[in-house]
Amino acid sequence: MKLCLIGNSHAGMLIAAHRKFGPAGLDLTVFAKPAMEPEDAALDGTVLTAKTDAMRDRLAQMGTPDHVDLAEFDAVVFVAMSISVFTGLRIAQAHHVEGWPGRGNAPLAELSSAAYRTSLTALAQDSLPGRMATALQGQINAPIFIVPQPCPAEGILTMPRRFPLFARLANDGNGPALLADLRAGLEAAFAGVHLLHQPEDTIAHGFLTRQRFSRGAVRLNVDASLPPDDFVHANAGYGRVVLERITPQIS
């Protein structure tokens, strides 16, 4: 099985899972760089080409050519690079979103649920995965998978002074509502491809990643670990969960 993995630093969890757990017979091509942006690569038909020196340098380090034909793979997987819990929180921080249970103590402007979800959908559609997944539909026979950025690690709640918005989200009980709206935005943006929402058994507090799936997260260069206070990335264990959902659909 040949799988092309396109992403940013979050691709590290899948690379680490592949190295540690397999499965055997899975040939992984990685087209990724930390903080990968739309200008780093361009799609011409089914050929994905690096467009910046930083992208080409990162691909060379991983042994990936500066262009790949996605029609030659059994599956194409986009990791992160779209909307996330951080996106949802940034939009909502100055508002009370209609339907969210908690209002907190500060007076906030009202934002309708429809407007909130529409904003999230538009951002997802305009992201690199949003643009490329749309362009690839009908161009390749292989399935296209979207792996959203994992929820932040639950350890983020142990540092309320550093992350006050997350503390407020948890205290007001609005985390699960934010995640539900985020998922709705993703579903609207990625209709027609395989969208892999984060499994419920990996989620804590309704909107964060359980510690066992975040502790020991690695960088895109999986030989280097992230610091203990990194609350953004997931580990090889979570990467394994994702791969186990993908491989049965392409074997």
**Residue 169: which of 161, 177, 158 has the closest Cα?**
177
Cβ-based neighbours of 26, under 8 Å, separated by 6 or more: 1, 3, 18, 243, 247
Output the domain CATH number for residue 18.
3.40.50
pLDDT at 243: 97
Q: pLDDT grade, residue 221 (50/70/90)?
A: confident
CB atoms within 10 A of CB 7: 26
Q: How many domains, in total, are found in the chain?
A: 1
Q: Which residue range(s) make up the domain with 110? A: 2-249
| Type of residue at 73 | F
What number is the average pLDDT over the span 17-29? 94
Each residue of 118-163: pLDDT tens digit?
999 999 999 999 999 999 999 999 999 999 999 999 999 999 999 9
**Residue 122: which of 184, 177, 185, 182 has the closest Cα?**
185
Cβ-based neighbours of 147, under 8 Å, separated by 6 or more: 7, 10, 14, 77, 78, 79, 80, 196, 242
Q: pLDDT grade, residue 232 (50/70/90)?
A: very high
Q: pLDDT grade, residue 251 (50/70/90)?
A: low
Please return the burial class of 92, using the count of CB atoms within 10 Å of its CB with bins 0-12, 13-18 and 19+. Answer: buried
How much is the pTM? Answer: 0.96
If residue 72 lies in a helix (H) or strand (E), which one and from where to where? none
